[in-house]
C-alpha cells in the first residue's frame, strides 16, 4: 500500500433507513486532506451522490440541511465518483466522528455494490471514541453538535464538508484544552461537578435539537448541563 502522509477527514450524509433496519444510501461525500503536523487544510472535495435506487430519491423528504430530491437526482452516482473517492482515501489515515461504526462501513458497502475494491486506510482516527476517552463526557453525549455547542463553534449544518471542518476545529479545541490541563494542572483543573446549590436557574436554558430524536438539551452558562442524581425527575412548565 502506498504510504500517504496526509490525514483524510471525511463525512457522509445518507438517507434515513425507512423502514427501520433497511440500509442507508449515500447522499453526499465530503473530505479534507489535512497535514498531520499542523492540522491545516491541504485539499478538499465534496459532491452530492445520486442513489442507485430511484425510490430513495422520490421518498427523500426536504431536510434542514438543504439536500433536496431535485439536487440529488442531478448528482453523479457513486460509480461516477468512485475513482476520486478511492484516490482520496486509499493508503491514508482516515479520520472522522463515529467513522468506525458508520462512515467506514458505508464506504466499503458502496464500493462492494458497484463491484469495486474498496480503499484501505493506514489506520483510523474515530474522534468520537478518542474524545470520549480523553475528553470525558463534559460535552454531554459527545456528538458533533454537542461538541460544537460546548466550544461555541456554531450549529452543525449536517453537510459533509461543513461537518468535516467542524470536526477538525473541535479536535483542535479539545487538544488545546487537554494540553493546558496536563501542562498547568493548578491553573486549568480538569472537568469537575458543580454542586446543585451553585447552579443559577436563570443561567439554564433548553434547546430543541431537531437532529437528535426531537429531544431537548439543557445548557448551563453555554455548556451542556449534565445531571447526575438518582431518581431525578424534571418537569417543564
Catalytic positions are 158
- What's the CA gap between 220 and 165, in Å, rounded? 26
Cell 476545529 -> residue:
169
Asked if 170 and 156 touch (Cβ cutoff 8 Å), the reply is no
Residue 107 grid coordinates: 464506504
β-strands 223-224, 26-34: how paired?
Answer: unpaired
Asked if 160 and 45 touch (Cβ cutoff 8 Å), the reply is no
Q: How far is CA 8 from the centre of its chain?
A: 14
Tell me the CB-side half-sphere exposure of residue 42, using CA atoms within 13 A: 13
Asked if 46 and 13 touch (Cβ cutoff 8 Å), the reply is no
Asked if 47 and 71 touch (Cβ cutoff 8 Å), the reply is no
Residue 153 grid coordinates: 463553534
Amino acid at each position: 500500500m502506498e504510504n500517504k502522509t496526509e490525514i483524510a477527514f471525511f463525512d457522509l450524509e445518507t438517507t434515513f433507513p425507512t423502514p427501520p433496519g433497511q440500509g442507508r444510501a449515500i447522499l453526499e461525500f465530503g473530505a479534507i486532506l489535512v497535514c498531520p503536523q499542523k492540522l491545516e487544510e491541504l485539499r478538499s472535495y465534496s459532491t452530492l451522490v445520486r442513489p442507485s435506487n430511484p425510490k430513495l430519491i422520490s421518498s427523500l423528504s426536504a431536510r434542514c440541511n438543504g439536500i433536496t430530491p431535485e439536487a440529488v437526482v442531478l448528482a453523479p452516482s457513486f460509480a461516477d465518483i468512485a475513482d476520486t473517492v478511492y484516490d482520496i482515501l486509499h493508503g491514508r489515515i482516515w479520520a472522522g466522528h463515529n467513522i468506525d461504526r458508520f462512515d467506514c462501513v458505508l464506504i466499503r458497502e458502496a464500493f462492494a455494490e458497484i463491484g469495486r475494491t474498496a480503499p484501505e486506510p493506514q489506520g483510523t482516527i474515530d474522534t468520537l471514541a478518542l474524545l470520549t476517552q480523553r475528553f470525558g463526557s463534559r460535552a454531554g453525549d459527545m456528538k458533533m453538535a454537542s461538541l460544537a455547542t460546548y466550544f461555541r463553534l456554531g450549529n452543525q449544518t449536517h453537510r459533509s464538508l461543513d461537518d468535516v471542518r467542524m470536526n477538525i476545529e473541535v479536535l483542535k479545541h479539545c487538544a488545546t484544552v487537554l494540553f493546558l490541563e496536563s501542562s498547568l494542572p493548578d491553573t486549568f483543573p480538569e472537568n469537575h461537578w458543580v454542586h446543585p446549590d451553585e447552579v443559577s436557574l436563570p443561567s439554564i436554558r433548553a434547546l430543541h435539537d431537531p437532529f437528535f430524536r426531537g429531544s431537548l438539551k439543557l445548557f448551563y452558562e453555554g455548556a451542556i448541563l449534565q445531571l447526575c442524581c438518582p431518581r431525578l425527575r424534571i418537569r417543564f412548565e
